[in-house]
Amino acid sequence: MTRRNFARTLPLFGLLLFGGALHAQQVTRSNSDAVAPATSPADLYGALFEAVQLERVFPDSKTFVDLVPLEPASVIMAAYRAEKPTGRDALAMFVARHFTGHGAQAANADIRDHIRSLWPVLAKPPMTPPEGSSALSLPAAFIVPGGRYQEFYYWDTYFTMLGLKADREQPMIDSMIANFVSLIERYGHIPNGSRTYYLSRSQPPYFALMLDMSDDRDPVLARRRLAALKAEHAYWMAGASCLKDGACQHVVGMPDGSLLNRYWDARDTPRDESFVEDRTTSAAAAPRGQHKVNRDLRAAAESGWDFSSRWLADGHTLSTIHTTDIVPVDLNSLMWNLERAIARRCAASGDRACARDFNRRAEIRRAAIAKYLWDTRTQRFADYDRKANAPTPIVSAALLAPLFVGLATPDQARATARLTERQLLAPGGLRTSTLRTGQQWDDPNGWAPLQWIAIEGLDRYGESKLAHEIAERWLGTVTSFYAQTGRMIEKYDVEERSAGGGGEYAVQEGFGWTNGVTAALMEKYPSRR
């Protein structure tokens, strides 16, 4: 793993103790003058010094002792005693805030090299699973996120592809698209991930956007990909033929008869990969029915936001989860984009009837989104609670999805930008939501895909200053953390600019979509390279 090498700058700790008032050339002494012993970093920083070295914040013990303090030692130690940072990541970010070194200026160049070096590490060959394995067979190579995730994940892959595009790794992009086409042809949809236990659900439909990164001028390839897009759309809309109680499978019938989509899972048992956790949650919510709770937990996993206040009836408690009651603004924005993509590709192939059909579907969906997922009272996009027949009160980064795909009006985009600036902009990037629940898809965490969606969406509507500000803050968080730890991780705390927390597992490193978005943003903003 490529790690940043700090320059060996000798900190003038002794001079700092005296306020730096003396210049070396002015100091004269006779043989009888007493020379005060210099104070070493171990003496100056005591408990902080020991913690940094024993936690191996830096692979080389010499790195820390060569850093230059940004404040007097007394101030740094007072902050250390007050904050009590514990663990490698927290210590690394504390050091990043209070020390510097000549190597800091080279962090961006180093991080780009590091990301390039990670692609072969995260790459997997075509998969032919052994008998009894939970892995799904895949005909072509692919990239995994890293850490505990050694299989592909649907929506992760799009954001990983952004970095592959920036690094001119087109063959790998085409390879992963081939896998997705194969999966749709075999199973009728792209599963959550490439494991048998993920087949009962999908994830946010980014496949159409992935195809925009690839050349399919070959008419045979174009027809096959168009057929895959239509099959994916059919998977999401299958419930339209069985609506009961206003919803069936992924489809929700709205009060005016229009159809929108929700997240849903075909199974209502605890997830294989989180069996104990789901059993515990559903038991705590027993009066509501364990099968209902299990399906709602699974549906949240399909959303990719597992878990978030977006899906919680009381906004805080996981046992109140009711994902299948929510009509999400991000999912329906992506479905609108999918319908538009199919219409464009049908038109390009000369199938005018298909193009008219899917353009009509997209327009009906746009009108329904404007009616139900735009809250005129608060002037914001919002998820819709179909049981309450009202927008939910949760303000989250999902409200930027309509800007990302281009379905917002200019007025809606302006209002969204102002709300984002007031409530979602954090010191280290974009907040996931405004609530602290202990769930990983809430404040204080920030996630690479949500930064990209916001930045691209705002830029698309001329809100470039805010887009650039989010990018700068996010890249500052990622590069600072990398400079101090040599690690790229799954999620970050954008309030403290440290490692993220919450969720069902420890923060993972690797990390596919962080690498992809970081590379793409540095390509978008060359001054950051």
Positions marked active-site: 306, 490
pLDDT at 239: 97
Mean pLDDT of the chain: 90
**Residues linked to residue 135 through DSSP beta bridges, in sequence order:** 195
Judged on CB neighbours under 10 Å (0-12, 13-18, 19+), 36 is exposed
The owner of tokens 């399909």 is 302
Distance of CA 116 to the CA centre of its chain: 19
pLDDT at 527: 77
Range name among 191-200, 373-382, 520-529 with the lowest pLDDT average:
520-529
pLDDT-above-70 percentage for the chain? 91
Residues 226-241, buried b or exposed e (16+ Cβ, 10 A)? bebbbbbbebbbebbe
Q: Where are the alpha helices (DSSP H) in 99-153?
A: 107-122
Which strand (E) or helix (H) includes residue 447? strand 445-447
Handedness of CA 459, 119, 218, 224 (dihedral sign): negative
Number of helices (H), then strands (E), belonging to the chain: the values are 19, 17
Judged on CB neighbours under 10 Å (0-12, 13-18, 19+), 488 is buried
Residue 262 backbone phi and psi in degrees, to 5: -135, 170
pLDDT band at 106 (very low <50, low <70, confident <90, very high): very low
Neighbours of 211 (CB within 10 A): 20
Question: Letter for the amino acid at 438?
Answer: G
**pLDDT tens per residue, range 220-260:** 999 999 999 999 999 999 999 999 889 999 999 999 999 99
In contact, 62 and 8? CB cutoff 8 Å: yes
Which strand (E) or helix (H) includes residue 116? helix 107-122
Q: Which two tokens stand for residue 497?
A: 């600019």
In contact, 278 and 294? CB cutoff 8 Å: yes
How far is Cα 139 from Cα 180, in angstroms, rounded to an integer? 10
How many Cα atoms within 13 Å fall on the side-chain side of residue 214? 21
pLDDT band at 59 (very low <50, low <70, confident <90, very high): low
Q: Which two tokens stand for residue 471?
A: 């990018």
Q: Cα–Cα distances in Å, from 330 out to 18, 89, 236, 294?
A: 58, 32, 14, 22
Give 400's DSSP letter. Answer: G
The owner of tokens 């100056």 is 44
**At residue 36, does pLDDT exceed 90?**
no
**At residue 184, does pLDDT exceed 60?**
yes
Top pLDDT among 66 and 525 is at 525
Q: What is the largest CA-CA distance in the chain?
A: 100
Question: Letter for the amino acid at 400?
Answer: L
pLDDT band at 109 (very low <50, low <70, confident <90, very high): low
Extended beta strands in 210-336, E state: 247-248, 251-253, 259-261, 326-327
How far is Cα 46 from Cα 40, in angstroms, rounded to an integer? 10
Top pLDDT among 24 and 298 is at 298
Domain 113-528, what architecture?
Alpha/alpha barrel (1.50)
pLDDT at 422: 98
In contact, 262 and 250? CB cutoff 8 Å: yes
Q: Which residues contact 187 (CB under 8 A, 6 or more apart)?
A: 199
**pLDDT tens per residue, range 338-390:** 999 999 999 999 999 999 999 999 999 999 999 999 999 999 999 999 999 99
Is the pTM higher than 0.85? The answer reads no
pLDDT-above-90 percentage for the chain? 79
Strands 123-124 and 142-143: antiparallel
In contact, 139 and 179? CB cutoff 8 Å: yes
For the residues 111-130, what does the mean pLDDT come to?
A: 95
**Residues linked to residue 381 through DSSP beta bridges, in sequence order:** 374
Q: Which two tokens stand for residue 404?
A: 């990302």
pLDDT at 68: 86
R_g of the chain computed on alpha carbons: 26
Locate the domains of the chain by residue range: 1-15+38-100, 113-528
**pLDDT tens per residue, range 457-487:** 999 999 999 999 999 999 999 999 998 888 9
